[in-house]
Amino acid sequence: MTINSTRRAIVGALSTLAVVPPSALARPAARPNILFILADDLGWADLSVYGNTDFRTPVLDRLASQGLRLTQAYANSAVCSATRFGLITGRYQYRLRGGLEEPITGPSDSYGVPPDHPTLPSLLKAAGYRTALIGKWHLGSLPNFGPLKSGYDTFYGNYGGAIDYFTHKPGVGPNVPEDLYEGETPVSEAGYYTDLLGKRAVEFLEQQERHRPFFLSLHYTAPHWPWEGPQDADVASKLATLQHDDGGNLPTYARMVQAMDSSIGQVLKTLARKGLADNTIVVFTSDNGGERFSQNWPFSGQKTELLEGGVRVPCLIRWPHEIKPGRVCDQVTISMDWLPTLLAAAGTQAAASHPPDGINLLPQLLGRDATVARTLFWRYKNNSQRAVREGDWKYLKIKGNEFLFDLARDPRERANLARKFPDRLASLKQQWEQWNTGMLALTPDVGSNGVNGKRQADKYAPEGSD
């Protein structure tokens, strides 16, 4: 009886294994760690894996080879703080007053992410994750807003939109205070900011243990202006304004991007040395398209514009336990998709009180389901811009001019098909109007930023034009 019972137990167990999907057998018991790396104003082709031939980005190229490279990833906005609202809430930023700003400028305790609004870090924290933000916040200032009020356990970085890489000030002059904080306490630390952020991320990872998952947001300010590489401390001492309109060049920009690439390399080495890499989801992307010295080819447009160059961004994902290396994926994604997608990977979900506008794309990223068609909407106050992408079709309006593009055949957005397909144009316009009724209105007090001929010669307007 004992022998027969044992035999039946073994046969039963083998039968059960036969019907269990291999992926389920291989799935680790522990929930995945998440490392979300966000660049600032990085252009589509600023990485060599996306086509840059002027310089190499070996760390991020290797990350792409070890995981997944997305070809149709979008930012929620063509400017930084607005995209960050979409990223942290999983919703269109136009649902929140602070998200209307393009971008939030200066210290703002009036506009920001409300502390009671569910966020990606707060939801992961509730699910047992240790959460940390290292780097740029740009979602409202103290005392009313901040990372520690929106779900992060720890924070080291800058509250505002930009700081000098060496002085860590959001402006120029002896009376401008540094924007560098440990939690909610101002601190001062010498060093190139990109390097400091990588160092802090390494220290955070050194403290992690396998029994508790972590969510680390590593948000660089690179390669945002001012145009300073790691050896350019003397440039910082001579700036007239932080915007640095009178400086910068391609070699300096290359050094800024490569410094970020190297910093990320140190972080990824620490993950591997700690034995955490296999079950850590690593995401790398940008908050919007590139600016003055970026490469956005083959797209036209740049930051502050709803042309593809202003909103299409590089995006890499590595999860060795689940994602096969070397994949390229054409799934259309947008910043706000990360909240439902990463929550699903962590085995939890969004708050019912604040349903996301983004969708869970984990099945597509893992290669288990086919790509799904998307309809995405944007608007941007400067030049009265609006855009819709439905499938491969895109409706774009800038300063009263309307365009219809087939992005599959014309990603550079040069052939205006509005006259050839008036019904398609009308349908997309109607969809945009209907969507817009559900968003907060763009009132006169909403700030916006754009690029004109006074700042960039290639944005000139002929004399007598409007």
Known catalytic residues are 80, 138
What is the DSSP secondary structure assignment for residue 212, as one 8-state letter?
Answer: S
Please, what is the Cα angle at 61 between 55 and 65, to 5 degrees?
155
Using alpha carbons, select from 415, 8, 86, 47 the residue that is nearest to residue 253: 47
Write out the two tokens for 225.
């202006």
Write out the two tokens for 53.
């031939």
What is the DSSP secondary structure assignment for residue 165, as one 8-state letter?
Answer: T
Alpha helices for 67-105 (secondary structure H) = 80-89, 97-100
Confirm if 405 and 417 have CB atoms less than 8 A apart. yes
Cα(217)–Cα(221) distance, integer angstroms: 13
By residue count, the chain amounts to 466
Cα(157)–Cα(40) distance, integer angstroms: 14
Cα(76)–Cα(88) distance, integer angstroms: 11
Confirm if 77 and 311 have CB atoms less than 8 A apart. yes
Confirm if 283 and 31 have CB atoms less than 8 A apart. no
